[in-house]
């Protein structure tokens, strides 16, 4: 459902992504994690069609993000780190606007609105002005706008950043409810978030993949935290010493 094929991204002389390749299978929730500045957000924006790659290819549900952007937009829901909300609008009016923006047919809009409000726990807040909501509820509205057209692929960039522990648990439960019906790529630098939510983890450092493994296999051998520290430290050491970057399948 999601495939990155040898993606590279450069900004002037800086190379943000280096020959990045990975897959996310249908119905999976996969964690995409790494230290700050590793290239997570750049990757997410390329997959969502916000940035073109300098080279390589991004595929969503068999469609090319660069060559077939309209088809990709029908199939993808994207929540950036800062939710794209209009604070002066009510939750309901904002989501109706999103339905129009995503070109959902008028015959389906009422059902899709009700589904998103129910799914994201917003039924009792539908008439609330977004600016009056807590950060946790604003995050729920951000998730609702990402999934209201019921996309096959959902891309979430740091969906729990800045939330309190209770809000984090609520958002995690919501993300887990998408398993099976949707394919989810979840970007974060919080290891516990991946352990609690995902079934597989992809670790990125300095713009390239350094490790990829199922969570059940990690727990049997080493914890995610141990693996993360090990591969990031080794990769950074080899990069700084001029050696080859680590690549673990």
pLDDT bracket for residue 174 (50, 70, 90): confident
* pLDDT at residue number 241: 67
d(CA 71, CA 85): 24
d(CA 61, CA 26): 9
Which of 183-187, 215-219, 243-247 has the highest average model confidence (pLDDT)? 183-187
- The alpha carbon of residue 106 and the mean position of all alpha carbons in its chain are separated, in whole angstroms, by 28
- The two three-digit tokens of residue 184, written as one number: 């989810």
Pairing verdict, β 200-205 and 208-214? antiparallel
CA distances from 33 to 193, 202, 205 (A): 10, 6, 9
* pLDDT at residue number 116: 95
d(CA 56, CA 225): 31
d(CA 34, CA 31): 10
Average pLDDT over the chain, rounded to whole? Answer: 91
Q: Work out the average pLDDT over 167-194.
A: 89
The answer to whether residues 84 and 97 touch, using CB atoms and an 8 Å cutoff, is no
Q: What percent of the chain has pLDDT over 70?
A: 96
Fold of 2-84+153-240: Rossmann fold (3.40.50)
* pLDDT at residue number 247: 36
Q: Work out the average pLDDT over 56-60.
A: 96
pLDDT bracket for residue 75 (50, 70, 90): very high
Strand partners, 4: 22, 58
d(CA 198, CA 31): 6
d(CA 122, CA 233): 42
Alpha helices per DSSP H over the chain? 40-47, 69-75, 91-101, 106-119, 135-147, 165-176, 191-197, 215-221, 224-240
CA distances from 195 to 40, 79, 216 (A): 18, 20, 10
pLDDT beyond 90 at 142: yes
pLDDT beyond 50 at 246: no
pLDDT beyond 60 at 244: no
d(CA 211, CA 248): 5
pLDDT beyond 70 at 234: yes
Q: pLDDT tens digit string along 84-136? A: 999 999 999 999 999 999 999 999 999 999 999 999 999 999 999 999 999 99
* pLDDT at residue number 112: 96
Higher confidence at residue 148 or residue 163?
A: 148
* pLDDT at residue number 248: 35
């Amino acid at each position: 459902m999601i495939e990155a094929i040898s993606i590279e991204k450069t900004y002037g002389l800086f190379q943000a992504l280096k020959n990045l390749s990975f897959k996310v299978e249908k119905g999976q929730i996969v964690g995409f994690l790494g230290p700050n500045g590793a290239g997570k957000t750049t990757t997410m924006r390329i997959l969502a069609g916000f940035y073109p790659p300098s080279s390589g290819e991004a595929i969503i549900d068999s469609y090319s993000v660069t060559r077939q952007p309209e088809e990709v937009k029908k199939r993808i829901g994207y929540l950036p780190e800062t939710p794209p909300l209009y604070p002066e609008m009510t939750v309901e009016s904002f989501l109706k606007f999103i339905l129009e923006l995503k070109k959902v047919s008028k015959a389906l809009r009422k059902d899709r609105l009700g589904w998103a409000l129910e799914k994201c726990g917003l039924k009792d807040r539908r008439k609330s002005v977004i600016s009056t909501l807590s950060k946790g509820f604003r995050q729920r509205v951000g998730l609702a706008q990402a999934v209201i057209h019921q996309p096959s692929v959902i891309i979430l960039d740091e969906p729990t950043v800045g939330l309190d522990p209770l809000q984090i648990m609520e958002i995690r439960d919501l993300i887990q409810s998408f398993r099976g019906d949707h394919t989810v790529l979840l970007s974060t630098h919080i290891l516990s978030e991946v352990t609690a939510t995902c079934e597989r983890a992809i670790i990125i450092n300095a713009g390239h993949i350094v490790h990829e493994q199922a969570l059940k296999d990690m727990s049997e051998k080493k914890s995610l935290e141990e693996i993360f520290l090990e591969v990031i430290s080794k990769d950074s050491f080899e990069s700084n010493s001029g050696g080859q970057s680590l690549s673990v399948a």
